[in-house]
Chain A
Amino acid sequence: MRSILNLPPHATPAQRAWHVGLWAITVLVLGFLVLPILVIVPLSFSSGSFLNFPLPGLSLRWYQELLESERWLSSLRNSVVVACAATLLATVLGTLAALGLQRASFPGRSLLLALVISPMVVPLVIVAVGVYFFYAPLGLTGSLVGLTLAHTALAVPFVVITVSATLQGFDANLSRAAASLGADPATSFFRITLPIILPGVVSGALFAFVTSFDEVVVALFLTGPQERTLPRQMFDGIRENISPVIAAAATLLIVLSVLLMTVMEALRRRGERLRGIR
């Protein structure tokens, strides 16, 4: 106990109370953050049709229902297709822009940066309504292409931010060395710059993927029954009648987020290690 509290032996009672209290608050807040997410997992294995404890028994019937439902499968397919396409576009556009923004200061740079970041702060409903009006005459509503383009704009800030952060630790002398040894800019980028900033690019891409995969507001406006995405399917499920199928879908999404988080953590560690030996 003493080692966790990390208190000197001469600590006053008030100091002890303060340390214990702070730990209690920390544990409570962390519990508040994590427990609601974990509570949904056991419910998805319930053999009953209601979402409450105690569970009447364990079964995989809701997973079976989920994986046999054409509605859920097609929405999953749509989400994966849109998220992959949006990730690819956002990563390429965002990485190029981050490289450009880092290079030399040019007039309007901070304004440009504010523009690039703005999709993150503009309320999603505004983006959704604007895109809806804009796409309708172009025939892009009710199409996965339209949704991909909108998601790309929403995902781009995350790529620019993470890649820019990685570029700040990048030693420009390495590119200069490559150039002095006769490498053209493209060779120097693919052989020197890209391998070093790759963790940042990959984290940016993961952020972009999650942004698109989780986005529901624009999807509500742009998609019909044919282009229904996974979050949209979840939204309808939660609103209409929340059943253990939703809990099963949620559990699979939680597994996905744990996986993504593990990859991010590994990338962060790798980044720190690389910076450590530099």
Chain B
Amino acid sequence: MPGSASERPVNLKAQLRRTERRRKLEAAALVAPLFVFLAVFFLAPIGLMLVRSVDNSELPSVMPDTAAALRAWDGAGLPPEEAFAAFARELAAGQRDRSLSGVAKRLTYEIPNMRSVLFATARGLPDTPDGTWRQTLTARNPAWGEPETWAVMRRAAAPVTPYYLLAAVDREIDASGSVVRVSADRAIYVDIFARTFWIAAVVTAWCLALGYPLAYKLASLPPRVSNLLMILVLLPFWTSILVRTGAWVVLLQREGPINEALQWIGLIGEPIQLVYNRVGVYVAMVHILLPFMVLPLYSVMRGISPVYVRAATSLGATPFTAFRRVYLPQTVPGVGAGCLLVFILGVGYYITPALVGGAGDQMVSYFVAFFTNQTINWGMAAALGSVLLMATLLLYWVYARLVGVDRMRMG
């Protein structure tokens, strides 16, 4: 209807708005399937992990009445008699249906011998008290007369706990309720986080040191040659991480080619330990992450016109000055993108340190896996994972602000 628009010109705007709205709806409908998929199979699992890091349901689920009584108690001195009575009843019930071990496990995180205290008290507990329940329990084990024990019990009775998250940064809540550092012999996690960031930083620095000149040279070659050499960067990028890690184990072993070569040159007399230590971790991680540095650097350097450097030299700058004052600043976006990407990926590494590192080279990821699979301390696994996730998301946010997520490109 070509005539209708001129007859009612106001409608043009409305029509445009309608079209615009339809386009937006179409776009949303196209994105929706992926969004729903990621919400269910990616966001929900991670959300659940975050919840696990504060989850404290072990005691409340097995001893609901004790938990309620302890929550009602003000926390000063010893709890009232009804808490002792509820505890005695639920302790005996827990012993009968074997549900006590979850509670025992939760309590041993804070008081190491609580497992034996709990089971010794529960074994053959009478149905009726000998005097009050408080007297009965304290007579069976003096720990039940200690306010300290009940302070821990009260913390275990709350539905959520900051315990794991605090422990992940070597902090705990003391008897007076304030947050303090844990004793030096138990403080290990801050060191592990520091080690993780340090390893990632060293790897990033090495990748930049090796990647910058390589990308610079590749970008200055004619496209035909640089495309050919680029294949040598892309081959490791496309090769399985396990193949590359395995290759380094072979190369760096005591009888491996590198030790043999060093002995042959006469640099060393005896084979030296190059793998299952920090050297192995650095070498293998730099090898695996280097392409992630070279690719963004290369794409930025390709876009830099040689005219500016030529102009600088023609105005009398030495080649070094021209590089430092004219070329280098133009590559900063590539340096930022590469360093952030390598650092973000490096912080989360698990496989490579697990295969080529020693006991002192394991990163946070290793401990997350360790607590999940080996000691089944899921609260601690989730707490370490949450702290690591926060650090990663913070870096990702910086990356998105500085580089832009849509600039992330592979290959």
Q: A25-B214, A37-B244, A131-B45 are in contact. Are A125 and B31 (CB under 8 A)?
A: no
Asked whether any CB of chain B lies closer than 8 Å to the CB of A63, the reply is: no
Chain A residues lying within 8 Å of B319, measured Cβ to Cβ, are 15, 18
Q: Are B246 and A99 in contact (CB under 8 A)?
A: no
Closest residue on chain B to residue A123 by CB atoms: B348
Out of B27, B37, B245, B354, name the residue touching A100 (CB < 8 Å).
Answer: B27
Q: A51-B253, A129-B382 are in contact. Are A36 and B34 (CB under 8 A)?
A: no
Interface residues as binary, B347-370 with A (CB distance below 8 Å gives 1, 0 otherwise): 111110011000000000100110
Chain B residues lying within 8 Å of A235, measured Cβ to Cβ, are 242, 351, 355
Q: Are B405 and A134 in contact (CB under 8 A)?
A: no
Asked whether any CB of chain A lies closer than 8 Å to the CB of B70, the reply is: no
Q: How far is the CA of A221 from the CA of B373 in the complex (A)?
A: 8
Q: A25-B213, A36-B244, A253-B243 are in contact. Are A103 and B26 (CB under 8 A)?
A: yes
Spot the interface stretch: A66-74, A173-181, A258-266.
A258-266
Q: A36-B248, A129-B368 are in contact. Are A124 and B348 (CB under 8 A)?
A: yes
Q: Are A254 and B239 in contact (CB under 8 A)?
A: yes
Asked whether any CB of chain A lies closer than 8 Å to the CB of B82, the reply is: no
Q: How far is the CA of A237 from the CA of B249 in the complex (A)?
A: 12
Chain B residues lying within 8 Å of A261, measured Cβ to Cβ, are 231, 234-235, 238
Chain B residues lying within 8 Å of A260, measured Cβ to Cβ, are 238
Tell me what chain B mostly uses at the interface: helix, strand, loop, or mixed.
helix
Please indicate which of the listed interface residues B26, B247, B382 has the most CB atoms of chain A within 10 Å of its own CB: B247
Asked whether any CB of chain A lies closer than 8 Å to the CB of B216, the reply is: yes
Interface size on B, residues (CB 8 A): 94
Asked whether any CB of chain B lies closer than 8 Å to the CB of A197, the reply is: no
Asked whether any CB of chain B lies closer than 8 Å to the CB of A119, the reply is: yes
Interface residues as binary, A111-146 with B (CB distance below 8 Å gives 1, 0 otherwise): 011111111111111111111111100000000000
Interface residues as binary, A185-198 with B (CB distance below 8 Å gives 1, 0 otherwise): 00000000000000
Out of A39, A94, A237, name the residue touching B251 (CB < 8 Å).
Answer: A39
Closest residue on chain A to residue B290 by CB atoms: A33
Q: Are A26 and B218 in contact (CB under 8 A)?
A: yes
Q: A210-B238, A250-B243 are in contact. Are A130 and B350 (CB under 8 A)?
A: no
Asked whether any CB of chain B lies closer than 8 Å to the CB of A82, the reply is: no
Asked whether any CB of chain A lies closer than 8 Å to the CB of B255, the reply is: yes
Q: Are B34 and A265 in contact (CB under 8 A)?
A: no
Chain A residues lying within 8 Å of B109, measured Cβ to Cβ, are none
Closest residue on chain A to residue B259 by CB atoms: A52
Asked whether any CB of chain A lies closer than 8 Å to the CB of B389, the reply is: yes
Asked whether any CB of chain B lies closer than 8 Å to the CB of A43, the reply is: yes
Q: How far is the CA of A23 from the CA of B33 in the complex (A)?
A: 49
Asked whether any CB of chain A lies closer than 8 Å to the CB of B35, the reply is: yes
Q: Are B30 and A104 in contact (CB under 8 A)?
A: no
Q: Are A253 and B240 in contact (CB under 8 A)?
A: yes
Q: A126-B388, A126-B389, A231-B240 are in contact. Are A150 and B31 (CB under 8 A)?
A: no
Asked whether any CB of chain B lies closer than 8 Å to the CB of A247, the reply is: yes
Q: A26-B214, A40-B250, A129-B372 are in contact. Are A153 and B381 (CB under 8 A)?
A: no
Chain A residues lying within 8 Å of B231, measured Cβ to Cβ, are 261, 265
Q: Are A33 and B257 in contact (CB under 8 A)?
A: no
Q: Are B235 and A214 in contact (CB under 8 A)?
A: no
Q: A52-B255, A132-B372 are in contact. Are A242 and B350 (CB under 8 A)?
A: no
Q: How far is the CA of A257 from the CA of B244 in the complex (A)?
A: 12
Q: Are A125 and B242 in contact (CB under 8 A)?
A: no
Closest residue on chain A to residue B234 by CB atoms: A261
Q: Are B34 and A93 in contact (CB under 8 A)?
A: yes
Q: Are B34 and A96 in contact (CB under 8 A)?
A: yes
Chain B residues lying within 8 Å of A40, measured Cβ to Cβ, are 243, 246-247, 250
Please indicate which of the listed interface residues B248, B349, B369, B388 has the most CB atoms of chain A within 10 Å of its own CB: B369
Asked whether any CB of chain B lies closer than 8 Å to the CB of A87, the reply is: no
What are 29 A-B contacts with C-beta separation under 8 Å? A26-B229, A30-B233, A33-B233, A33-B235, A33-B287, A36-B244, A40-B247, A43-B250, A89-B37, A97-B33, A100-B26, A100-B32, A106-B27, A112-B31, A116-B35, A121-B395, A121-B396, A125-B385, A126-B388, A127-B45, A129-B49, A130-B46, A131-B41, A161-B409, A214-B242, A216-B241, A234-B242, A234-B246, A264-B234
